Chain A
Amino acid sequence: MGSGERVGSGGFSLGLLALLGLNLAGALSGCGKGAKGDCPQLEICGGDPSSMTAWQVSEVCQVPAFRPSQPSDVMDFQSTPPLAPTIATPQPNPVVAQQTTSGDWCSGLVFMPGTTGFVVENVNLWHESPHISGDTVNKPSTILLAGNDHSYATTLHFEDQNSTHFVPHCLVQNGAVGAKCSDLASALTAFYTTAALPGIDPTFTNIMCADAPSDGGCDCSYTFNLEVQDQGSWAIDPNDSTVLVQDSTVLQWNGTQMNAAASATTLRSSFCAGNGTLQLSGLRGGSLSSVQGLRTLIMTPMR
């Protein structure tokens, strides 16, 4: 449960440093946090996590996650692929093995005249690592662990407010001469609405653009939305009754199948079920539901 790894790494350095007579270093080596960031370790006791009604997330601990390296191809920056719940990464330089760019000043914007106004044909709006939505009524995050067939269904809603500045030449480089910032906002909204699947919120909503007094460009603010659907079967680890094992067969980000992007199809988490709560912690500091940076959840029965 995280502690095993911490003791392992700390003990290793402590032993060697003690061997070298470095008391100062030895004292410090016990300070390792494992891979859990600043999230506290939840209670781990096992129990029966199944329930007739879904568990609803009441408390969460996330660390701002980013992908360990830039993606190796530029497909992530084309059209409207499902976006990872991490800090958006800079666009890669495709001709070097070690990625070396700090991103595109225009965020990939293709803003041009259309038949009935201005249209956006491509853009990569930047976003931070999103947080689980606080809107528990319209966007509840839940987990249902069925006791009869051992199936499970997880729904997590993430969102975050972000903004991007577009300099003037980004706005006109594709011929959108005379366009106003409100035109850009409308075109961006249409771009993401068109790309959204039925019944799923567009990836970016509440898009508003205003004149930037600094350079005459546009400052655009928006909400980043990500709905994670995770389904499969669950079991208790026969070797450790405090470990919940989930075989994730369906993983969707905003309705698009993303199993290939998941860090693992077999999810393992430490848990404690009892007294009307379910506490989940990613095993050894791992992530829950393949959402990087999502460390712990405390849930209560959904009402």
Chain B
Amino acid sequence: MGDDFRRRGSRWRRGTSATVAITLTFFAARAWAAKPKPKADDEEAARPKHDESDEAADSKADDAATAAAPPAPTPLPPAVAPAPKGPAPLASGEPGWTLGFYGWLELDALWDSTQSFSETVLNQNISRPGTYAGDNARFQATVKDSRLGYKVAAPNYGSIKASAQFEADFFGVQPTTVTQDQQYTYSSIRLRHYFAKLETPVFDLLAGQTFDLFGWGGQGFFPSTPAFLGVLGEVFHRNVQLRLSKKLSGDHAALEIAVAGVRPATRDGGVPDLQAGLKLSFKDWQGASAQGPRPANAAPLAIGVSGVGRRLYVTDFEAISADAQKVWGWGAVADAFIPIIPVSGDDLSNGLSVTGEYSRGTGVTDLYLTLNGGVLFPALPNPKNVLPAPAYTPNIDNGIVTFDANGIAHTINWEGWMVNAHYNLPFNKGKTLSVSGTYSGIRSTNAMALTPIQGQPFVWNKGQYFDGTIWWSVTPAFQVCASFQTTAQTLGAGTPFSVVARNNRAQGGFWFFF
């Protein structure tokens, strides 16, 4: 089935590859043309000194350059100062380079009314009521959300700035054999951000892993909540990407446009996902913006729209597949940060801000963290009752695509929304006490219809989430909070055996920011 579009796929793939290559070549040529003629010192300064692999590859060239170009006798401005000689690592205080650490230490005390989750709730499935896990409570304490990051900026190369950022937490994947004690105290590191950024007068280039452009992650549209992001129905995802962006900034407003090639949901599609976005901010309308557990800062009113398109090549629904089935996924999301009661300057007193998001898409389930709604692949038909029964081996994660009764691949539709309000009480310039609340939801129009009846009782196609939090910044660096969060998922919605599974969570959080 689907032979015609499979054959067309290879032709399309060649066309897409050519388009991507031409686009990259175009931007590279523009960048080269815009780049100022480098001086000898600039070239030296621009050479990475802290990357051992690069250094090994270019060791001879480095030696020659070192011998031919001794340090200038008079000091130069830091922006064009020559880098010191010698191998990595980059030492603190090297001329022209800046390096800074940041992060926080966090303790979360978590009480749940069910035993559905480890530390994170996100979009994971809640245990059914009437089961042991669904009816009994759990308490956890964790420091895994603590962060450690650093930023590095190289000396300016003419008008070009190069920088990099690294950030990690401790939610790394642990082996399934881990004990409960080890699970909470032997945490493994997880890469959150690892990217390099090149800022030029023409455009900016970001290469590495960070938040997706889809949803403008990390750009001021997160809710103020101690819940581990993303909350139910919120677009939240990090990915490996190559992003081109351009920011046009005026006295009163700024416009940023961006496009990114992103690691695809299925590597067997042969092409990257494409994301694009547009963000508009108004500098004269400032509000208190608190992102996740971070204390609020003044930020401008902002509106963002973004989209994603992807081609999914899914292994055909056979025990031994031949051709793949091609389906298209897409998503669109609108974000807004709106100061209802604006703030001015450094004083956040009585600042009331709302963050909102609406998203819709199909075949983009992975961009809502841990979401699958219980949607799995069906079992292969076994009409001859052979043992062992034939098994389907997918080449894509669960919940993005599945097969209907005729073996045709379909993407799963999801529609999500989120509204968050944050208010800073008028003490100490609004920086001591604040409250926040979140409502979000998500639903699918075809998750149930694309699941055989045996699996339907285990699929939830409608979910809602509420939270409320009181924040207290004891000092500018030390913060505590108390929060209540409730999540409900309707299993088998629209069927006679529909049941609502609910988890209530009480959370106490402690942070030391540095």
Contacts of A25 in B (CB 8 A): 109, 111, 482, 484, 506-508
* A102–B458 CB distance below 8 A: yes
In the assembled complex, the CB of B407 is this many whole angstroms from the nearest CB of chain A, namely: 8
Contacts of A23 in B (CB 8 A): 482
In the assembled complex, the CB of B291 is this many whole angstroms from the nearest CB of chain A, namely: 23
- Determine whether B129 belongs to the interface, using a CB cutoff of 8 Å to chain A: yes
- Determine whether A108 belongs to the interface, using a CB cutoff of 8 Å to chain B: yes
A residues with a Cβ closer than 8 A to B are 5, 9-10, 12-13, 16-17, 20-26, 28-29, 31-38, 63-66, 68, 74, 77-78, 87-96, 100-110, 121-122, 124, 126, 128, 164-165, 167, 169-170, 173-174, 285, 293
Q: A25-B484, A38-B130, A95-B393 are in contact. List 6 more A-B contacts (CB 8 A).
A: A13-B137, A22-B109, A33-B135, A74-B382, A104-B380, A110-B383
- Among A91, A96, A169, the residue within 8 A (CB) of B406 is A169
- Determine whether B74 belongs to the interface, using a CB cutoff of 8 Å to chain A: no
In the assembled complex, the CB of B266 is this many whole angstroms from the nearest CB of chain A, namely: 16
Contacts of B380 in A (CB 8 A): 104
Contacts of B455 in A (CB 8 A): 90, 101-103
- Among B128, B496, B506, the residue within 8 A (CB) of A17 is B506
Would A22 and B378 be within 8 Å (CB), given that A90-B455, A169-B406 are in contact?
A: no
In the assembled complex, the CB of A214 is this many whole angstroms from the nearest CB of chain B, namely: 11
* B130–A64 CB distance below 8 A: yes
Contacts of A68 in B (CB 8 A): 131
Q: Which residue of B lies closest to A14 (CB)?
A: B111
In the assembled complex, the CB of B128 is this many whole angstroms from the nearest CB of chain A, namely: 7
- Determine whether B381 belongs to the interface, using a CB cutoff of 8 Å to chain A: yes
- Determine whether B136 belongs to the interface, using a CB cutoff of 8 Å to chain A: yes
Binds A, one of B64-72, B118-126, B384-392: B384-392
Q: What CA separation (Å) do A17 and B454 show in the bound complex?
A: 40
- Determine whether B370 belongs to the interface, using a CB cutoff of 8 Å to chain A: no
* B378–A104 CB distance below 8 A: yes
Q: What CA separation (Å) do A169 and B383 show in the bound complex?
A: 12
In the assembled complex, the CB of B261 is this many whole angstroms from the nearest CB of chain A, namely: 30
Q: What CA separation (Å) do A24 and B141 show in the bound complex?
A: 16
* B139–A17 CB distance below 8 A: yes
In the assembled complex, the CB of A127 is this many whole angstroms from the nearest CB of chain B, namely: 10
Q: Interface of chain A, helix or strand or loop or mixed?
A: loop
Q: Which residue of B lies closest to A13 (CB)?
A: B139
Would A28 and B452 be within 8 Å (CB), given that A74-B388, A94-B389 are in contact?
A: no
In the assembled complex, the CB of A97 is this many whole angstroms from the nearest CB of chain B, namely: 9
* A103–B453 CB distance below 8 A: yes
Contacts of B379 in A (CB 8 A): 90-93, 101-104
In the assembled complex, the CB of A285 is this many whole angstroms from the nearest CB of chain B, namely: 8
In the assembled complex, the CB of A293 is this many whole angstroms from the nearest CB of chain B, namely: 7
Q: What CA separation (Å) do A34 and B139 show in the bound complex?
A: 15
Type the 1/0 row for B357-392, where 1 means its CB is closer than 8 Å to any CB of A.
000000000000000001111111111110111011
* B137–A102 CB distance below 8 A: no
Q: What CA separation (Å) do A13 and B504 show in the bound complex?
A: 13
- Among A12, A24, A90, A124, the residue within 8 A (CB) of B458 is A90
Contacts of B113 in A (CB 8 A): 28, 31-32
Type the 1/0 row for B460-489, where 1 means its CB is closer than 8 Å to any CB of A.
000000000000000000000011100000
* B454–A88 CB distance below 8 A: yes
* A37–B130 CB distance below 8 A: yes
Type the 1/0 row for B298-330, where 1 means its CB is closer than 8 Å to any CB of A.
000000000000000000000000000000000
In the complex, the 6 A-B pairs of residues with the closest C-beta atoms, listed nearest first: A102-B455, A25-B506, A103-B454, A63-B130, A103-B452, A37-B130
* B131–A102 CB distance below 8 A: no
Contacts of A24 in B (CB 8 A): 482-484, 506
* A100–B136 CB distance below 8 A: no
* A101–B376 CB distance below 8 A: yes
In the assembled complex, the CB of B479 is this many whole angstroms from the nearest CB of chain A, namely: 14
Contacts of B453 in A (CB 8 A): 103, 107, 126, 164-165
Would A12 and B139 be within 8 Å (CB), given that A64-B497, A95-B393, A105-B378 are in contact?
A: yes
Contacts of B223 in A (CB 8 A): none
Contacts of A38 in B (CB 8 A): 129-130
* A28–B506 CB distance below 8 A: yes
Would A36 and B135 be within 8 Å (CB), given that A103-B455, A128-B497 are in contact?
A: yes
* A110–B405 CB distance below 8 A: no
* Best-buried of A90, A92, A110, A170 by chain B (most CB within 10 Å): A90
Would A78 and B137 be within 8 Å (CB), given that A90-B458, A101-B378, A103-B454 are in contact?
A: no
In the assembled complex, the CB of A264 is this many whole angstroms from the nearest CB of chain B, namely: 15
Contacts of B382 in A (CB 8 A): 74, 77, 91, 104, 108
Q: Which residue of A lies closest to B447 (CB)?
A: A102
- Among B128, B135, B376, the residue within 8 A (CB) of A102 is B376
* A91–B111 CB distance below 8 A: no
* A16–B139 CB distance below 8 A: yes
Contacts of A106 in B (CB 8 A): 381, 383, 405
Q: Which residue of A lies closest to B453 (CB)?
A: A126
Q: What CA separation (Å) do A20 and B509 show in the bound complex?
A: 10
Contacts of A32 in B (CB 8 A): 113, 135-137
